[in-house]
Amino acid sequence: MEKAINRQQVLLQHLNPSASSFSSHQNNSALSASACLAGDSAAYQRTNVFGDDVVIVAAYRTALCKSKRGGFKDTYPDDLLAPVLRAVIEKTNLNPSEVGDIVVGTVLAPGSQRASECRMAAFYAGFPETVPVRTVNRQCSSGLQAVADVAAAIKAGFYEIGIGAGLESMTTNPMAWEGSVNPRVKQMEQAQNCLLPMGITSENVAHRFGVTRQEQDQAAVESHRKAAAATASGKFKDEIVPVATKIVDPKTGDEKPVTISVDDGIRANTSVSDLGKLKPVFKKNGTTTAGNSSQVSDGAGAVLLMKRSVAMRKGLPILGVFRTFAAVGVDPAIMGVGPAVAIPAAVKSAGLELHDVDLFEINEAFASQFIYCQKKLELDPQKINVNGGAMAIGHPLGATGARCVATLLHEMKRRGKDCRFGVVSMCIGTGMGAAAVFERGDGVDELCNARKVETNSLLSKDAR
């Protein structure tokens, strides 16, 4: 903040009239430096017209449930996606025919089959045949990539309203390699490392960067503690859409109708001593266990985006503003470090510094990589995953990005003026990272007091 004030004072020295022409009293009352809402982020500039901002007006998710054992074990993938697609339309009273595209992030299902299921889900949700649907797969960032793709399309003028969503049923489509592997892979180490089990990459991060078993187990405990507290206080009710489905008894085949509205993987009583009893899963003397890794889950999420001018014309409350997105590549053998590279790239693109960000949602694929990224970027633990993360809530691969956006924006709304900028980030299998920067919906006011000038010598790009 002090640097920003100093910059203002230097500028004002050039703008104030000289003492020879005006009295000292007039000089003192003319112009003065003051703090701005953005804090010490003088580089932050809106390069687009206010009404052309891409904004989020709704973001919802299903509860996340344990794969093969949880509340969605007998739910078809399209029946997971349909409720969140319906929710973003019904809760905003938007005519579904106005949606320009629906983009769904999804990872494990065969591409053509999942594309058909997503189209079917759109029909179940009440969308007309005129609204197109497509899928996108960038591994664990697929849900966030879907949101970014829609934002980019709106910015490009392809359409004014779109939905970025995410879907994964790890019950229906478990992680597996189909078919043979090209023998050429043996000739290149980086290509070979793309085939490493994710747990091995976690062990690589822990070994290479000195992340201890104790640290990893403690991080898992904190994730469960915060998620349990958020659930108990009703925080997730703002973002979770209840899903009416069924549970089938595996022994009798009897079906029981249920409504799922609570994440079922959170263990409030998890302790370091309990987790310490678990054996490593991927390496004999390793540190990565089932307890300090993300949960294998089923779930879906959807985010409704549009131009700010459209949202204002419709009278819709603005939950957040999409600012920037970055995807980066890293060493496949330590793919978990992705957020440590992607976050600075996205934040810099927004014209911000890391300390300008008030909240982070960083996917907890593994405690090892989560801890590494936090330490590497020197992030305040009080700003990260304040309502728990994937070790407690779950990680349905294609849906995680949409889930994180919903969780982040609703928390930013609750915090109000004390929380302006937020970041969603995750590591990506085969060695990548992704991050996006969001701004609280009411954190920016229209620049109605900008003086219209006719010359090109502008002090602010916003005055154009």
Residue 427 annotated in active site: yes
Give the whole-angstrom CA distance, residue 140 versus residue 201: 14
- Alpha carbon distance 194, 332 (integer Å): 6
Query: In angstroms, rounded to a whole number, what is the distance separating the alpha carbons of residues 219 and 97?
Result: 45
Q: Which two tokens stand for residue 328?
A: 């980066």
- Identify the three-state secondary structure at position 138: strand
- Token pair of 96 as six digits: 């579904």
Per-residue three-class SS string for 379-420: CCHHHECCCCCCCCCCCCHHHHHHHHHHHHHHHHHHHHHHCC
Secondary structure of residue 418 in the 3-state scheme = helix
The identity of residue 68, as a single letter, is K
Q: Map residue 187 onto helix, strand or coil.
A: helix
- DSSP helix/strand/coil, 55: strand
> Given 118, 224, 395, 404, which residue is catalytic?
395
Give the E-state strand segments of 348-389 in sequence order.
359-362
* Active-site choice (118, 373, 404, 427): 427
Contact 392, 226 (CB under 8 A): yes
Can you read off the two tokens belonging to residue 104?
Answer: 């769904």
> Distance (Å, rounded) from C-alpha 51 to C-alpha 174?
43
Which amino acid makes up residue 304?
L
395 has catalytic annotation: yes
Q: How far apart are CA 64 and CA 447, in angstroms?
A: 41
Give the active site residue among 140, 373, 404, 419. 140
Question: Tokens 């649907």 label which residue?
Answer: 133
Among 280, 321, 242, 248, residue whose Cα is nearest residue 52: 321
Say what the alpha-carbon torsion angle 373, 213, 332, 428 is, to the nearest 10 degrees: -60
140 assigned to active site: yes
List residues with catalytic annotation: 140, 395, 427
